Amino acid sequence: MFLSVDLGDEKAVIEKYWLEMGFTMKPVMQKGETVSSAFGVQYYPTNYLIGPDGKVLWRAVGWNELALRAALGPAPAPK
Amino acid sequence: MLQALLLLLAAPCVQEPAAAAPPAPDPARQAWEKLQQRLAAAQSLDLHARMELSDSAIPPEEMQEVKMEIQLQLARPGHGKAVWTSVFGSGEDAETIVIEWIGTGDKVYAVDHEEKWVMAEGAEWKDSEVGFFLPFLGPTWCSGGLEPREFSVLPPPAEHPDWQGLKITGAAPPEEGAEEGAAEESFEMRLWLAPDGALRRAATSLGGTAEMLFEIDLMALSDKPDLEKYRTVIPEGYAVLADPEEEHGEEEFSLEGSLLPVGAQAPEAVLIGLDGAEFGLSSLKGKTVLLNFWFFH
């Protein structure tokens, strides 16, 4: 499951952007910065890959598809 | 030059004696363990020693003369004062370097009298670098670890037939940052004790041909020291610099330093869908989740 955790944008802004970009990821919001701070996120974008057991498999600031694919490799395919 | 030499010669301190008892009584090991027990039990340690450096691989005329005087007035946990005075070379070229530490009770500081600052090294004397050259002071007065392995008896020096001599060989752990599989350094210590059990002479060498010979004029241990005698304060007007390890001052800046480490349990997080429905991240357990933190505005 791919979730995009938004920091502080209005619902309408997110919807419009998602529609325009044709993203298939699920956008979600958070209360204030509760989720960002729980994950220690200070820079955007930051990506976390969480395994089925709830443990951090990989995380990085920025977007690095190769590193993400490498981290995703041994994990069971997303349902 | 001084730093390089100090590092080259620095011998870490000795680990606690192994718990396993030796199969047969061993007078050298017993003498060592007794000395370590006395040092560990003592609440104060006064020491005055003179050190000379020799290296059998360097011809005497090429060897830079190094003499060091060490004065320790230490009480637990962190009271007192320590001064090392090193003289490099002799005559007109001689260079004197003084290194000093003070302990205000709960903290031990390195002191720089030229720049007028003190820097915390830890709560106890063993956290500081005071005992760096003095592995025979044992783990309760100096940090680090040498592993004693073999003990043997040495004859007394001709001029002191009543001294007891012992030799200890062992291994020093590889230095921090050394390559994996790096050969461990061997160390050797030869000690001579007076009939009252006081350490009077010590020769230490680490791995190579260099040897430090300590003549110990005074070594006094006390179980109930007069703390007034050891009371020391930070000199007026001196800056107190933070402990670099406490402040993480030496850590490199990292964009990802604040993130959770790989392998950490992801915290519970309340997520809100665009339909307003809230759900917990833990409700996705069993799935692999990519959390992409972003914003648009």
pLDDT band at A14 (very low <50, low <70, confident <90, very high): confident
Average confidence (pLDDT) over B197-207: 88
| Model pLDDT for residues B91-104, shown as the tens digit of each residue | 888 888 899 999 99
B285/A53 touch (CB, cutoff 8 Å), yes or no: yes
Asked whether residue A76 is assigned to any structural domain, the reply reads: no
Q: Is B258 close to A42, i.e. CB distance below 8 A?
A: yes
**CATH number for position A16:** 3.40.30.10
A79, part of any domain: no
Is A39 within a domain?
yes
Q: Has residue A78 been placed in a domain?
A: no
Q: Is residue A77 part of a domain?
A: no
**Tens-place pLDDT, residues B148-189:** 889 999 999 999 999 999 999 987 766 655 566 666 678 889
ipTM for the predicted complex: 0.86
Do B294 and A13 lie within an 8 Å CB cutoff? no
On whether residue B81 sits in a domain, the answer given is yes
Is pLDDT above 80 for B251?
Answer: no
**Cβ atoms of residues B64 and B1 within 8 Å:** no
Q: What is the CATH number of the domain that holds B127?
A: 2.50.20.10
Per CB-CB distance under 8 Å, the chain B contacts of A78 are 287-288
Does residue B86 fall inside a structural domain? yes
**3 state SS of A2:** strand
The least confident of B5-14, B156-165, B250-259, B283-292 is: B5-14
Q: Report the residue of B256, B292, B297 to disrupt the A interface, i.e. the one with the largest count of A CBs within 10 Å.
A: B292
| Residue B169 counted as domain residue | yes
The answer to the question of residue B240 being in a domain is: yes
- Flag whether B232 is in a domain: yes
Domain count, chain A: 1
By residue range, what is the domain housing residue B63? Answer: 27-175+182-247
pLDDT of residue B249: 45
Q: Is residue B137 part of a domain?
A: yes
Question: Over the stretch A52-72, which tens digit does the pLDDT of each residue have?
Answer: 999 998 898 887 777 788 777
On whether residue A49 sits in a domain, the answer given is yes
Mark which residues 51-70 of A lie under 8 Å from B by CB.
Answer: 51-62, 68
CB contact under 8 A, A34 and B288: no
In a domain, B238, yes or no: yes
Residue B295 is predicted with a pLDDT of 80
Residue at A13 is within a domain? yes
Question: How many domains does one find in chain B?
Answer: 1
